[in-house]
Amino acid sequence: HTPSPVISAVSAKSYACQRRTPLKHHNLFLTEPLELLAENAELGENEGRSVAFRRAAAILKTLPLAVKRMEDLQGLPCLGDHSLRVVKEILEYGSSQEVESTRHSEQFQAMKALTGIFGVGVKTADRWFREGLRCPADVAKSEQRLNSSQQAGLLHHEDLSQHVSRAEADAIGQIVERAVQEVLPGAHITLIGGFRRGKETGHDVDFLITHPEEGKEEGLMPKVVQWLETQDLLLYQKTTRNSYLESKEGPARPPNNMDRFERCFSIFKLERRASGEAHSSAQATEGEPGGGEGRAPGPEPLPQRRPAGWKAVRVDLVVSPFSQFGFALLGWTGSKLFERELRRWAGREKNMSLSSHALYDNSKGCYLRASTEEEIFSHLGLDYIPPCDRNA
Ligand code: DGT
Ligand code: MG
């Protein structure tokens, strides 16, 4: 058997963090169906199955050519029986019955629509589905008790279900920059998430904030949020405090919880120009930092038409101490599968525990310091992969 040209160009590296995965690739016709099955498994809370489909899709994204026949896949890792069956069917018939029936199933569509509401997770969506709700409009009409994030999610659902463009992300970036400089001059703001990986659109905009002087960043988030609120730039916000303490972690509890930074889940009110292009209203308003009264977060009235002229955009802000910045940057750039694979590589191949805060070497019993992503890849014995090639 002559080695297929597709395979000979790809070595059989089985962790996504060992490979370069660009945003644009040649096998969307296979990866989209596999990722749909992954999403369906997530909605059914079957994580193992979901990850298997995501890994299968990810390996196909690294191939330099479109797959034409099953022989093209010989020697490739990460392709389980189920994924191979789906691929085979698509190569032979142009589509997979399982994928298409899932795509059109009432449960999949409803679960997708319900979890598409900001603040609604799989468990809530599943309960609502069993109670007969199918879409955001059903929820709005129902007597369901909603928490404040769900109320905001429903109220702004139309805007939040639209993609955020790169121009909008940049406009939000200017607002965040302005807000942060007002309350802590010298702080650094970095665009993270999908936009850092080169995506042209996103479901939200993610920023990492730090200050070169360790400790200066403490308590920053409430001040930023207050400034944004006095400028009337926030429609919703929920801030969680930093609860990560390295000294308390120790070897017994490796730093694997990823949600311990000071973090703000928010919905920004982004002005649009008449041209339709987003721009920052903060540029036009001279603010008095800390002066006014922030609008209290909490229940808002249920759906009403929003006035034209602005768009609701989901924004995630994360504050990291300078000493953890490299880990935070790596941990928040994604993709989610790439992150997962990095942690799996660290644990299985290196006996290390990686989080967005630190890297702990379990064999040596110590933390490994790093201030850049490059150093972390190097600690992990991996070739450096730039953000644009982390689109696994
Ligand atoms: P999208 O959908 O266009 O916003 O795509 P991403 O890749 O920006 O996805 P997003 O915004 O959900 O998350 C950005 C990255 O941040 C993700 O790849 C991993 C990380 N991340 C997301 N949620 C959490 C979290 O709760 N904790 C931690 N530590 N990281 C998270
Ligand atoms: Mg994002």
ipTM of the complex as predicted? 0.95
Distance CA 342, CA 324 (A): 17
Phi then psi for residue 389, to 5 deg, are -110, 20
Mean pLDDT, the chain, integer: 89
332 CB within 6 A, ligand 1: yes
Residue matched to tokens 């916000």: 237
Question: Residue ranges of the domains in the chain?
Answer: 5-102, 107-155, 164-287+300-324, 326-389
| CATH class for the region spanning 326-389 | alpha beta
Q: Which fold has domain 164-287+300-324?
A: Beta Polymerase; domain 2 (3.30.460)
pLDDT of 307 reads: 58
5-102 shares its CATH topology with 107-155: yes
Nearest CA among 390, 19, 357, 375 for reference residue 199: 390
Three-class secondary structure of residue 164 per DSSP: strand
Distance CA 214, CA 382 (A): 28
335 CB within 6 A, ligand 1: yes
Distance CA 94, CA 64 (A): 21
230-249: per-residue pLDDT in tens? 999 999 999 988 776 544 44
Please indicate whether residue 206 is annotated as part of the active site: yes
Cα of 336 vs centre of ligand 1, distance in Å, is 6
pLDDT of 294 reads: 42
Ligand 1 atom closest to the CA of 335, numbered from 1: 18
204 CB within 6 A, ligand 1: yes
90-149: per-residue pLDDT in tens? 999 999 999 999 999 999 999 999 999 999 999 999 999 999 999 999 999 999 999 999
pLDDT of 5 reads: 53
Nearest CA among 131, 150, 152, 156 for reference residue 142: 131
Nearest CA among 100, 104, 107 for reference residue 130: 107
Residues 6+ apart with CB under 8 A from 74: 1, 4, 7
258-309: per-residue pLDDT in tens? 457 899 999 999 998 733 555 544 444 433 333 334 444 555 555 555 556 9
Ligand 1 atom closest to the CA of 204, numbered from 1: 4
Closest C-alpha residue for ligand 1 atom 30: 332
CATH of 5-102, one of 3.40.50.720, 1.10.150.110, 1.10.1740.10, 1.10.1510.10: 1.10.150.110
Active-site residue among 316, 361, 383, 389? 316
316-374: per-residue pLDDT in tens? 999 999 999 999 999 999 999 999 999 999 999 999 999 999 999 999 999 999 999 99
pLDDT of 273 reads: 72
Ligand closest to CA 166: 1
Cα of 189 vs centre of ligand 1, distance in Å, is 17
149-186: per-residue pLDDT in tens? 999 999 999 999 999 999 999 999 999 999 999 999 99
CATH of 107-155, one of 3.50.50.60, 3.40.50.1820, 1.10.150.20, 3.40.190.10: 1.10.150.20
202-231: per-residue pLDDT in tens? 999 999 999 999 999 999 999 999 999 999
The packing angle between helices 220-230 and 166-183, to 10°, is: 110
Please indicate whether residue 138 is annotated as part of the active site: no
Please indicate whether residue 232 is annotated as part of the active site: no
Ligand closest to CA 333: 1
Residues 6+ apart with CB under 8 A from 326: 370, 371, 372, 373, 375, 376
